[in-house]
Amino acid sequence: MGLAKRIIPCLDVDNGRVVKGVKFVDIRDAGDPVEIARRYDREGADEITFLDITATSDNRETMVHVIEQVADEVFIPLTVGGGIRELADINRMLKAGADKVGINSAAIFNPEFVKQAAERFGSQCIVVAIDAKCVSAEGEPKRWEIFTHGGRKKTGIDAVEWAIKMVSFGAGEILLTSMDRDGTKIGFDLELTRAISEVVEVPVIASGGVGTLDHLVDGITKGKADAVLAASVFHFAEFTIGEAKQHMQDNGIEVRL
């Protein structure tokens, strides 16, 4: 009894199609986000996150329509990230039916944007997405920095300090992705997840590296995350969301079944 830990499937959307990690030959025709969202909802997803991976203005227009269609029939929380740069972007997404927006690079270029967004729309809908990489040398105490451009560009910003700052600016949740682990299927960066989850007051979503059901359990029990996010393991149907939740419950984690 009590607040359940959440499982959040993530859909990477390009030009109205789900692209990343989906088992199809033609990646441009990988999947209809509305259909996939519907499936995850039926399987018991606690929320769904949509990530606009190219974030061009055309794409954002397409994303608005995707969210509208999903929100018409899927009655669980929806988060949209990618290309959220202005208050007007947030307003459009919320009006389309999103409940939260993920802000990533716009927060780095202009941290005040997070403050303005939280003041205007409330912290409950402002998720700050952090892409972090370990930068400490072997033997040194672990340290992580924020990277942009899909992990290619170093910012020099310490990830833990950044998370604290973003929460003080009004972020209601942190979506934390380990760029070292993303796509590797060797599990979350548990040290990174714990380092941030233990110092911020808001919920932390662990992301990057899920390959097995045990990884999801570890994210919660060892990483101290409040929610776990994964993309390809669900798209590939290596396991369903229902199976993931059952496994978490079998390991003593409170979930919504």
Partner 1 sequence: MATVAVIDYGMGNLHSISKALKKVSPDSNVIVTSNRETILSAGHIVFPGVGAIRDCMAAIRSAGLDETIKQAAKDKPLLGICIGMQALLEHSEENDGVECLGIIPGQVIKFSSNAVNSENNKIKIPHMGWNNVNYSIQNPLFENILNNERFYFVHSYHATKVGNNYVLANANYPYNFPCAIKWKNIVAVQFHPEKSQDVGLQLLKNFLNWDAKAESSEHA
First vs last C-alpha separation in the chain: 12
Asked if 203 interacts with partner 1 (CB under 8 A), we say yes
Is residue 189 part of the annotated active site? The answer reads no
Q: Strand runs (DSSP E) across 35-105, as ranges?
A: 48-52, 78-81, 100-103
Burial class of 72 by CB neighbour count within 10 A (0 to 12, 13 to 18, 19+): exposed
Q: The tokens of 146 are what?
A: 């924020």
**Cα–Cα distance, 107 to 88 (Å, whole number):** 15
Active-site residue, selected from the candidate residues 131, 182, 189, 226: 131
For partner 1, the binding residue among 86, 109, 110, 122 (CB under 8 A) is 122
Piece of 9-17, 70-78, 108-116, 138-146 that binds partner 1 (CB under 8 A)? 70-78
Q: Are 182 and 137 in contact (CB under 8 A)?
A: no
**Cα–Cα distance, 113 to 179 (Å, whole number):** 24
Q: Which of residues 128-167 bind partner 1 (CB under 8 A)?
A: none
Q: Which of 52/173 has CB closer to partner 1? A: 173
Piece of 2-10, 14-22, 30-38, 53-61 that binds partner 1 (CB under 8 A)? 2-10
Asked if 194 interacts with partner 1 (CB under 8 A), we say no
The residues of the shown chain that bind partner 1, judged by CB under 8 A, are 1-6, 41, 46, 68, 71-73, 75-77, 94-99, 119, 121-125, 172-173, 201-204, 224, 226-227, 256
Catalytic residues: 12, 131
